[in-house]
Every structure is written in structure tokens, then in C-alpha cells.
Amino acid sequence: MATTLITGGTVVSATGRGEADVLIDGETIAAVLAPGSQLLGTDVAASVDTVIDATGKYVIPGGIDAHTHMELPFGGTNASDTFETGTRAAAWGGTTSIIDFAVQRYGERVQDGLAAWHEKAAGNCAIDYGFHQIVGGVDDDSLAAMRGLVDEGISSFKLFMAYPGVFYSDDAQVLKAMQVSQETGLLTMMHAENGPAIDVLAAQLADAGKKAPYYHGIARAWQMEEEATHRAIMLANLTGAPLYVVHVSAKQAVDQLAWARDQGWNVFGETCPQYLYLSLEEQLGAFSEEWGQFEGAKWVCSTPLRSSRDGHQHHMWQALRTNDIQMVSTDHCPFCMKGQKDLGLDDFRAIPNGIGSVEHRMDLMYQGVVTGKITLERWVELTSTTPARMFGLYGRKGVIQPGADGDVVVYDPNGHTRISAASHHMNMDHSAWEGFEIDGHVDTVISRGKVVVDGGQYHGSKGDGRFLKRGLSQYLI
Ligand code: DUC
Ligand code: ZN
Ligand code: ZN
């Protein structure tokens, strides 16, 4: 078995930092050692197969993106990253595990949806992967099938209060699914937006001739997110289900979560880089030679971008610092402009919803360290350690300690990254992050002991990644 020593770096965890060498034996972290240690009278560095010099750099646990949609059939097309292209791009960006969403819809069996996702991913992934289960059709059969998910290593499921006719669950269905959540320990993940009301608003805007991409965000008003978040919280409290609200973008929804947590309720929230950096005003002002005003379609996602005038982005950074929001995932759901987003050229309602960011999450969040919005330790906690704890992976993932998987990133705080569609590895013809500058760089990525990215080269292969059978969330009470 190959051995690797990462030497000279500053090892950063969710709770602190210190100078240490990290020894990886085969696929597993064997030891965290004082710098330059000897073992049995021999320099460790002299006895390993590979030495990685991390002098002046941070050594962190590999990122875990707990919210991706590779190959998702959605909006009349499929998300443009396959498990192969999307996980390779993730690796380039310092993410060594993803949790994607297997899909069940009305009239389909949960077991079949899960099997289909296994088929898409198996043998194709560059990094380790797990699944949540979308339950898009709550009925007696799917409720019964949910009880078997924990044994399959699927310890969380997602419901939608949005998208009537696609994934939508009404309150009665949410209540029933949450009762199963309470009984089994499955974590309920919620897309919290009032879908039926949003659809009315969207139709009224379109009827009034307001069909540009920007109106997507107007129809999906913050009140729709706040209201649904509150409703989800109350239903979870009533049933005793643990609740995790995905892709929170409105400050009022954050306040609902903070209020519930202040009551001592077991409620959590995730946000995404787009809700920290991008705004509805930028989307309104977007224009290009090629697309004109339709340029704004690049940022059509749900929940939508919010107004910077109302301070949502600032509030969200603050919530990350104060732990009102506990995690940052991407909701990676990429669509190309040509042939996909342009399905909605004449009407925003037909634009496939989604942004691709799986490659850039670690960098974009590191920039929050540079600008003093979060600490270095909080960066690791938000992007790796809490995702591992939240979704039943901790110990194996999310931490650098003996016995953990050898998932390690060497991050250079003196490096520089410029994000562009010309250089990214996601299967997209544009970048939602075009021209963003990051004061740091992912130098080396090790996935279960294998160096997959180093020196600007990719050394991994399709099929390196294995399915992660997850345990229950550490946050259950
Ligand atoms: N939001 C998106 O932007 N895309 C996929 C599904 C979702 O809820
Ligand atoms: Zn969603
Ligand atoms: Zn999603």
C-alpha cells in the first residue's frame, strides 16, 4: 500500500489549527505527527513513497458538498454534468465527497428511483458519493419504502413545498412524511417555498408581458420562502421530525430558523455561495451581446437570488458566523445557455432552474476568510466537518485524524484563482462566477489516499469514487 506524508503545513480543523505532518497509509490517515517526526528512529519522510511539501499552506479535510444534482432530469432537459464530469470538477475544486439526490416522482417506486441513481453513478465518479432520496410523490407506498432507506445507507430525504405537478408535496403529505422521519431518524430536508402561490404570481407576471429572467426572482418573493420555512418548522415541531432547510436565500427565512433554534428545536439551515455573493439587481442589469437581457438566465435558480438593497447577502454571511445557518452546499444543478437555459428565451417560467458551482465552493468560501467574514476554522466546519456530522459520515469524512479516509486538500493562501468558463471543468458553456477572483488556490487534492489533483494536473480516473453508505445524522436528539 502506498504511503504519503504531507509535511510542513498548517493542519486546520473545525476547532483549531497547528503545524503538523499528516501520514496517509493506503486509503486511510495513519497519523497526525509533530513536524519532522521520527518513527522507530527513522525520519518518516524518508520512509514513505510520496512526500508532499505543504510549507506555507493549509492542510484541510476534503470538502463535502451535500447538495448536488448530477444528470437531474428537470425543466424539460437534464442537468449538464454527468456523475463523471461533475465529480471530476468537484475534485479539481477540493471537494472529495458529494451527496446527490436520487429521485422518486408520482407513480414511481422509491426503490426504483434509488436503483436508477446507483446505476448512473456506479463506476463513473471521481470521488466518493452518497445519496439523499427525493420523495416527489408521497403516498402509502413511498411512505412504506422510506422505512427501508436507512438500511440502504440513505439517512435523509427531500420534500418540495414548491414545483406543483413536479415534485410538490402538500401539507398533508409533508406531515405524513415527517412522521416517518420522526420514527426512523431520517433527516427531513425541505425545499421551502410556497409553490402554488409562486405559480400564480409567475403566471400574472407573464400575462403582463414580464417574461425576462429577472421576473423569476420577483415571482419567487421572499415572503414565499419565509412563509414556507415557518410552515415546515411548525410541521416538524408538531411531528418531532428533525428538519434541514436547503438553499436558504431570504434573510426572513434565516430569522425563522434562528427563532426555531432559539426555542431549542432541532432545525438546521443550509445556504449556497450564490446567496452570499450574487444579487437580483445584478441579474436585472445583466446584458450581453450574445444574449441581450436573457443573459440573466445564467442566474435563474430556486430559491432565487435576493435583492442586495434588502441586505440578504450580508445577513447570510452573518448567519454563517453566528451559526444560525450551519452549512454551505452548492445545489449544483448546471444547465448550458445554448440548448438548455434558452428553452425559456421567451418566458422565464421555461428556463431550467439551476447554477453550477460544485468546483468553486471551497474557493468561494475561502474568500470569506480573506475578507474577514468567517474564520479559517469556520471555513472547514461549514464546508466539511458539519456536512459530515449532519449526514452521517463523520469520522470517515470531515476530519483529519487517524482512521479517517485519506481525503485531504492542500490549500495555498498565497495562490490565486480566477474563475472562468474558459478554465473550469464543469460541463457548462458559461460560468455563473465568470471573472471572480479568489485569493487562494487548491493545490493538491487527495481522495482516499490517491493524489487526484496536483501541480495543475488531474491524476484521478473515472470509477475512483465509491458509494458512501451513510449512518444517521449526529444531530438527532
Ligand atoms: N433548485 C434549483 O435551482 N435547481 C434544481 C432544483 C431546485 O430546487
Ligand atoms: Zn430545492
Ligand atoms: Zn437542489
pLDDT, tens digit (0-9, with 9 covering 90-100), for 333-359: 999 999 999 999 999 999 999 999 999
Q: How far is the CA of 26 from the centre of ligand 3 (A)?
A: 34
| pLDDT, position 1 | 74
Q: Which residues surround ligand 3, an ion (CB under 5 A)?
A: 331
Which atom of ligand 1 is nearest the CA belonging to 301?
Answer: 3
- Cα-to-centroid distance, 331 and ligand 3 (Å): 5
Euclidean distance between the first and final Cα of the chain, in Å? 40
Q: Which candidate, 142, 144, 152, 77, places its Cα nearest to that of 107? A: 142
Structurally, how many domains does the chain consist of? 1
CA of residue 303 to ligand 2 center, whole Å: 7
Atom of ligand 1 nearest to the CA of 72: 5
| Mean pLDDT of the residues in the chain | 98
Euclidean distance between CA atoms 177 and 136, whole angstroms: 11
DSSP bridge partners of 327: 270
Give the pLDDT of residue 210. 98
Residue 321 lies in a domain: yes
Tell me, yes or no, whether 457 lies in a domain. Answer: no
Whole-angstrom CA distances from 276 to 110, 324, 335, 347, 420 are: 34, 14, 21, 27, 19
Q: Please enumerate in sequence order all residues whose Cβ is within 8 A of that of 151, keeping only pairs 6 or more positions apart, or say none.
A: none
CB-based contacts of 333, cutoff 8 Å, min separation 6: 68, 69, 72, 74, 79, 301, 353, 354, 355, 356
Q: Ligand 2 centre from 404 Cα, in Å? A: 31
- On whether residue 330 sits in a domain, the answer given is yes
Task: Give the atom of ligand 1 at the shortest distance from the alpha carbon of 352.
Answer: 4
Please tell me the number of the ligand nearest to residue 190's CA.
Answer: 2
pLDDT of residue 3: 97
* Pocket test residue of 333, 348, 351, 428 for ligand 1, highest count of atoms within 8 A of CB: 333
Residue 39: is its pLDDT beyond 90? no
Q: Which atom of ligand 1 is nearest to the CA of 354?
A: 3
Asked, for residue 326, whether it belongs to a domain, the answer is yes
Segment holding 190, helix H or strand E: strand 187-191
Return the CA Rg of the chain: 22
In a domain, 324, yes or no: yes
Over range 45-69, report the average pLDDT.
Answer: 98
For ligand 1, atom 8: residue with the closest CA: 302
**Ligand 3 centroid vs 57 CA: distance in angstroms?**
33
Please give the model's pTM, rounded to 2 decimal places: 0.98
CATH number of the domain at 135, please: 3.20.20.140
- Choose the residue to mutate in 193, 301, 340, 357 for probing ligand 1, maximizing ligand atoms within 8 Å of C-beta: 301
- The three-class DSSP label of residue 405 is strand
Residue 28 confidence (pLDDT) above 80: yes
pLDDT grade for 477, boundaries at 50, 70 and 90:
confident
**Dist. CA 292 → ligand 2 center (Å):** 28
- What grid cell was written down for 477? 436528539
- Asked if residue 424 belongs to a domain, the reply is no
Q: Is residue 85 part of a domain?
A: yes
Q: Is 57 exposed, middle or buried (0-12, 13-18, 19+ CB in 10 A)?
A: buried
- Please choose from 67, 68, 69 the residue to mutate so as to test ligand 1's pocket, defined by most ligand atoms within 8 A of CB: 69
Nearest CA to ligand 1 atom 1: 302
State residue 367's pLDDT score.
99
pLDDT digits (tens, 9 = 90+) for 174-216: 999 999 999 999 999 999 999 999 999 999 999 999 999 999 9
Cα 435 to ligand 3 centroid, rounded to whole Å: 25
Distance 74 CA to ligand 1 centre (A): 9
CA dist., res. 208 & res. 226, Å (int):
26
CA 110 / ligand 1 centre spacing (Å): 20
Span 390-416, average pLDDT: 98
Residues with CB under 6 A from ligand 1: 69, 74, 191, 301-302, 331, 333, 353-354
Q: Is residue 253 part of a domain?
A: yes
pLDDT for the residue 42: 87
Domain containing 343 equals 63-361
Measured by CA distance, the residue closest to atom 7 of ligand 1 is 302
- Closest atom, ligand 1, to C-alpha of 246: 8
Per DSSP, 14 falls in state S
Q: What is the mean pLDDT of residues 233-246?
A: 98
